Amino acid sequence: MQYDTGKHCVFYHRYHIVWSTKYRFKVLTGTLRLRVRDICRQVCRENEVEILRGVLSS
């Protein structure tokens, strides 16, 4: 756990992200599912974001 600090505050960020399609159609299948996972990991790595747990459901 890492805390960030400002001049007059201390804070700890933790986010829960859920992404779903309209009517929950199953569009993340096959290679598209793997590509989305890789893009998410790449963006997190570039922004120094740690993924605690990741699940891609199709």
Q: Give 33-44 pLDDT, tens digit per residue.
A: 899 899 999 999
Distance CA 11, CA 29 (A): 38
In this predicted structure, what is the pLDDT of residue 1?
A: 65
Please report, for the chain, the start and end positions of each structural domain, with discontinuous segments joined by +. Answer: 17-58
Q: Are 37 and 29 in contact (CB under 8 A)?
A: no
Here the tokens at position 41 are 């990991």
pTM across the whole model: 0.68
Residue 52: is its pLDDT beyond 70?
yes
CA distances from residue 39 to 3, 10, 19, 21, 32 in whole angstroms, order as listed: 26, 31, 14, 17, 10
Q: What is the DSSP letter of 47?
A: T
